[in-house]
């Protein structure tokens, strides 16, 4: 187990994702905890994780987390559904600090929201194949009807900024038609990129289907988990630092689509 020593005061919260999508989680944490310092690592050189094997995703997740742990963080947020689905337990066993993933917060919010107990989950191939959402949902309520669908083309669409055009609309319709027919009243957006498609998905499924954004739910769990004596004493605003494993320029450019101009600069890691 890797002991992370100083967990008080102005020590940062570490956040990582396979790339840019975890900025949706970063944004929500920054909104709820504006005085905290945040360090974000986007493993852009090795993205996507969603098509890779569990072993490889776990190895990448450990390497990313070790990088953040070396910066003496007080909490680790796995802002990637795929890494949370396959590697969360390995990371929780690896460090002495709290490690928070995005799966359970999303599942909890979905169970709270559903009236008819029919819940849909969309995510990458690895996330859906892992069954992590199904397990988390069943643990909360074994009587749920759960419908899942891997939607691998949605990540590149978002990266391209195609979130509200004809291609986005028809891809969403193709992926979600069986979920729509199954009568779900709640859909978990089980991938960091999907909140950017919220509008298009909402129009296709209609108002009666609640969309659960794991980013929002995870940020709430971060706030709950950060006990009072681990909060920064500073009045802020906190510092945001961004690291990437590929070109910072591309990260900043695509990041602007996620966050506006919040990511002004990023440092490329040499591994």
Name the residues annotated as catalytic.
Answer: 80, 191
CB of residue 191 vs ligand DGL: minimum separation in angstroms? 4
Residue 162: is it exposed, middle or buried by C-beta count within 10 angstroms (0-12/13-18/19+)? middle
Beta carbon nearer to ligand DGL, 198 or 239: 198
Beta carbon nearer to ligand DGL, 137 or 215: 215
Provide CB contacts within 8 A for 218, sequence distance 6+.
Answer: 25, 28, 29, 77, 79, 100, 101, 102, 105, 106
CB of residue 18 vs ligand DGL: minimum separation in angstroms? 3
CB of residue 142 vs ligand DGL: minimum separation in angstroms? 26
CB of residue 206 vs ligand DGL: minimum separation in angstroms? 25
What are the distances in angstroms from CA 267 to CA 43, 44, 245, 250, 252?
Answer: 12, 12, 8, 12, 11
Beta carbon nearer to ligand DGL, 126 or 137: 126
Query: Can you name the residues that pair with 119 across neighbouring β-strands?
Result: 146, 186
CB of residue 63 vs ligand DGL: minimum separation in angstroms? 15
Beta carbon nearer to ligand DGL, 49 or 175: 49
Which of these, 2, 15, 78, lies nearest to 263 by C-alpha position?
15
Which of these, 121, 97, 93, lies nearest to 109 by C-alpha position?
121
Beta carbon nearer to ligand DGL, 27 or 232: 27
Please give the residue ranges that form the binding site for ligand DGL (CB under 6 A). 17-19, 21, 47-50, 80-82, 124, 127, 155, 191-193
- 82 touches 126 (CB < 8 A): yes
Provide CB contacts within 8 A for 88, sequence distance 6+.
Answer: 78, 99, 101, 103
Q: Order of strands, edge to edge, in the sheet holding 240-244?
A: 99-100, 75-78, 13-17, 38-42, 240-244, 267-268
């Amino acid at each position: 187990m890797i002991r992370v020593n100083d967990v008080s005061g102005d020590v940062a919260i570490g956040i990582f994702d396979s790339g840019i999508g975890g900025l949706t989680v970063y944004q929500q944490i920054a909104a709820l905890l504006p005085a905290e310092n945040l360090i974000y690592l986007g493993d852009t050189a090795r993205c996507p994780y969603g098509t890779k094997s569990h072993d490889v995703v776990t190895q990448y997740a450990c390497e990313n987390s070790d990088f953040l742990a070396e910066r003496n963080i007080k909490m680790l947020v796995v802002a990637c559904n795929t890494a949370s689905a396959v590697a969360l337990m390995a990371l929780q066993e690896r460090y002495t600090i709290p490690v928070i993933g995005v799966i359970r917060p999303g599942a909890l919010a979905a169970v709270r929201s559903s009236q008819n107990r029919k819940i849909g989950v969309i995510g990458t191939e690895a996330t859906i194949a892992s069954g992590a959402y199904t397990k988390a949902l069943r643990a909360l309520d074994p009587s749920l009807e759960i419908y899942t669908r891997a939607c691998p083309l949605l990540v590149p669409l978002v990266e391209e900024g195609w979130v509200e055009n004809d291609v986005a609309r028809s891809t969403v319709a193709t992926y979600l038609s069986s979920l729509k027919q199954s009568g779900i009243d709640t859909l978990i957006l089980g991938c960091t990129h999907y909140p950017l498609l919220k509008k298009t998905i909402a129009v296709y499924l209609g108002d009666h289907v609640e969309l659960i954004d794991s980013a929002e739910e995870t940020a709430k769990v971060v706030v709950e988990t950060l006990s009072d004596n681990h909060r920064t004493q500073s009045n802020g605003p906190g510092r945001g630092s961004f690291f990437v494993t590929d070109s910072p320029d591309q990260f900043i450019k695509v990041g602007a689509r996620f966050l506006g101009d919040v990511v002004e600069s990023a440092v490329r890691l040499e591994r």
